[in-house]
Chains A and B, each alone.
Chain A
Amino acid sequence: MLAALVLPMSVQAEKAQLELRVKSAFIYNFTKYITWQETPVNAGTEFLRICVVRDREVFDLMRETIAMKPSQGRVVDVVLLRERNEISDCHVAYVPEARSMQDWRREMQVAGLVTIGEGSRFVDDGGVFGFVIVDDKIRFEINLELAESKGIKISSKLLSLAKRVVY
């Protein structure tokens, strides 16, 4: 609907931006239904770090949308991730569509890190959440097995909304 109102020149850009905003909101909402196992890394911090892997554009938009919002007693902090070793501070790592996780695979497997990516393949390939588009709507899939192995608890409410749960 909104897409129809904007100019044809920027229709694609607008749509992409809107999609990203919704996804940002989804990611923010995910944090409300996820319980992290306390680890030395994330314990004691007042920030809930959402890290965007190497995509400045997405980082900017996401920061604009959800940064400094409260979640489970913490404040959302959106971080742009450039180097692999920076990943240990993150609660959530979002891998935008344009990026591949292949070269960061090892870092992504660290316990307590919620990995969110695009498509069913991301979930199958070792991601926790994967966004899918169904009927023009953004939905998501969950790899519960992986989440459990990483010490992440996902609320059943969230599971009930998932398009597909891998177990």
Chain B
Amino acid sequence: MAMRLLNISNLPIRYKMIVAILGTSLFVLLINAVVYLALGWGTTKTRIEHELKVTSQIYAENVSAALSFNDEQAANTLLASLKVITELELACVYKVDAGTQEADLFAQYSVNAGNSGCKSGNLLLSDSEMSQHLEVISPVKVGNDLIGYVYFRRTIDDLVASTKLSATTVLLTLLISIAVAYSLASFFRRLIERPIGSLLAVTQKLSNDADFTTRVEKFADDEIGSLIDSFNNMLAQIQERDTQLRATRRELELRVSEVESSNNILNETLVRLKKTQEQLVHQEKMASLGALVAGVAHEINTPIGVGVTASSTLHGATEETLGLYENGKLTDSGLRKYMSTAMQSANILLTNLNRAANLIHSFKQVAVDQSSSETRQFNLREYIDEVLLSLRPRIKKTQVAVTVDVDSSISVHSYPGAISQILTNLVINSLIHAFPNGEAGEILVACELLENDEIRMHYTDNGVGMSDKNLQKIFDPFFTTRRGAGGSGLGMHIVYNLVNQQLGGSIAIESTEGQGIDVVITFPSNIRHQRIAQSAGVVT
């Protein structure tokens, strides 16, 4: 049963509809037919039973006198009149003996002449319901006295025949109804099958071609019509989205290609920028070297100038004394005065030339350090002093006092050029940015040797300080707050790179606006140890 139902559920809709309509019709008609036939059978049977009963009662009434008077002939004559009831098979009249109360056969009638079916003795009805006969027993009474019985037996052939006729009619009606139902179902089937079929065809076409411009033809305004409407609406939406999607994709592709070309341009720009940056860094180095040279020239100018003055004084005194001598006017006291002047001038010359030589030596060292990238052993205090000396011409123009607090015993093996550049940049930054309007201030450079053989340098000023926002960008290349005033924005970037890359250290800047700046630079006192330790650390 379940398999069969399953098969039905897999049938095409048109067969399902026909099966449903025909099945329903057949079922209903069958129920009707069965009820009709059963009802017909039942009522007809009840009716003929009743008829038989009434007939038997009438006959019992009529035969009572014959029984009373023991007139068999009259009883038989009466029985013979039952011939008109063709279905009556057997009729028996029993007489009840007044004394013994026993019933004796008195008269009988049989449709088959001579074939007596009447039983003698006690009367009992056949109890079989399926019997081909109907039986009835009616008492014969005169007044209140029971004087006998009448037994009628009737065939139900007529009932069977009429029922057969009814059944045949019902069957014929059923067949005609089924035929009509089938043709109606076929008609209605088309009503439903056509729109569904076209819907199905369109969906199949859609899944094959993905052509969303197709629309399903609508046949009627029923649920299927609504379904088709919704489907078409859906198709329209899909079509619209499809179009939008295509447009968006095209746009996206365009954008991607644009982005790619922009990227290429950007990359090129970046390469160019890096080149420019390198050039600028180089230029900056050169510029600081230039500043150094200017400083050197300025520092040397004084002793040289003094030397020139002394030598010209000596020259003048010598010429004067020589003129006196040639005129013979040179006096002893005059010679003595000249000698004193000459000695004094020579002393001044010697002192100032020595000083100039010293200056040049130290400047030469700083300049060499700045332009080369060699490591060497040096005294930190002395070196810082030398660097600051080279900056003196710039510092002297301001009211800033520079204090150095470094133990003179600290010796460092590192890149002095890097330290020189770092310090130069920091000082110049302080002079330009921390004290922009020539305010009086202090700069403190303090170094200490940590236990782990690192140097920690504190560079502090008490200038205007800087905002957090600017502090975050201070190491970015080309970041400057004074773009128009000649700042390249590379100074602190160079400082950062020198600390990190050359010194192998780290730099941190703390500042609050209006409260100066505190730069902490930590670097190893011996770069070789550091390098060895680093490579060892890498190895392990």
A33 to B145 CA separation, bound complex (whole angstroms): 13
B residues within 8 A CB of A33?
Answer: 65, 68
Q: Which A residues form the contact surface with B (CB < 8 A)?
A: 26, 29, 32-33, 70-72, 139, 155, 157-158, 160-161
Q: CB-CB < 8 A to B66: which residues of A?
A: 157, 160-161
The 8 Å CB contact of A161, one of B61, B71, B142, is: B71
| 19 interchain pairs, CB-CB under 8 A | A29-B142, A32-B68, A32-B143, A33-B65, A33-B68, A70-B143, A72-B143, A139-B71, A155-B65, A157-B61, A157-B62, A157-B64, A157-B65, A157-B66, A158-B65, A160-B62, A161-B65, A161-B71, A161-B74
- How many B residues, CB 8 Å from partner? 14
B residues in contact (CB < 8 Å) with A? 61-62, 64-66, 68-69, 71, 74, 78, 142-145
Roughly how many angstroms separate A157 CA and B64 CA in the complex, as a whole number?
Answer: 8
Interchain CB contact under 8 A, B65 and A26: no
- CB-CB nearest in chain A for B65: A157
Describe B's contact surface by its main secondary structure.
helix
Closest to B74 in A: A161
| Bound Cα distance from A33 to B144, whole angstroms | 13
* CA A157 to CA B143, docked complex, whole Å: 14
B74 adjacent to A29 (CB under 8 Å): no
A29's partner among B61, B69, B78, B144 (CB-CB below 8 A) is B69
Closest to A33 in B: B65
Q: Which residues of B contact A161 (CB under 8 A)?
A: 65-66, 69, 71, 74
Query: Which residue of the partner chain A has the closest CB to B143?
Result: A32
Interface contact A71-B69, CB-CB below 8 Å:
no
> Which residues from A are CB-within-8-Å of B142?
29, 32
**Least Cβ–Cβ distance between A138 and chain B, in angstroms:** 9
Chain B residue contacts of A26, Cβ below 8 A: 69
Q: Which residues of A contact B65 (CB under 8 A)?
A: 29, 33, 155, 157-158, 160-161
9 nearest A-B pairs in the assembled complex, by CB-CB distance:
A157-B65, A29-B68, A32-B142, A161-B74, A161-B71, A161-B65, A158-B65, A161-B69, A32-B143
In whole Å, how far is A135's beta carbon from the nearest beta carbon of chain B?
9
Instruction: Give Cα distance in the complex from A49 to B99, angstroms.
Output: 24
Whole-angstrom distance between the Cβ of B78 and the nearest chain A Cβ: 8
- Tell me how far the C-beta of B68 lies from the nearest C-beta in chain A, rounded to whole angstroms: 4
Most buried by B among A29, A71, A157: A157
Q: How far is the CA of A28 from the CA of B66 in the complex (A)?
A: 14
Tell me the bound Cα distance from A96 to B111 in angstroms. Answer: 44
Neighbouring A residues of B71 by C-beta, 8 Å: 139, 161
Contacts of A160 in B (CB 8 A): 62, 65-66, 74, 78
Inter-chain CA distance A32–B142, complex, in Å, is 7
In the bound complex, CA of A139 to CA of B66 (Å):
11
**In the bound complex, CA of A35 to CA of B402 (Å):** 172
A161 to B75, CA, bound (A): 9
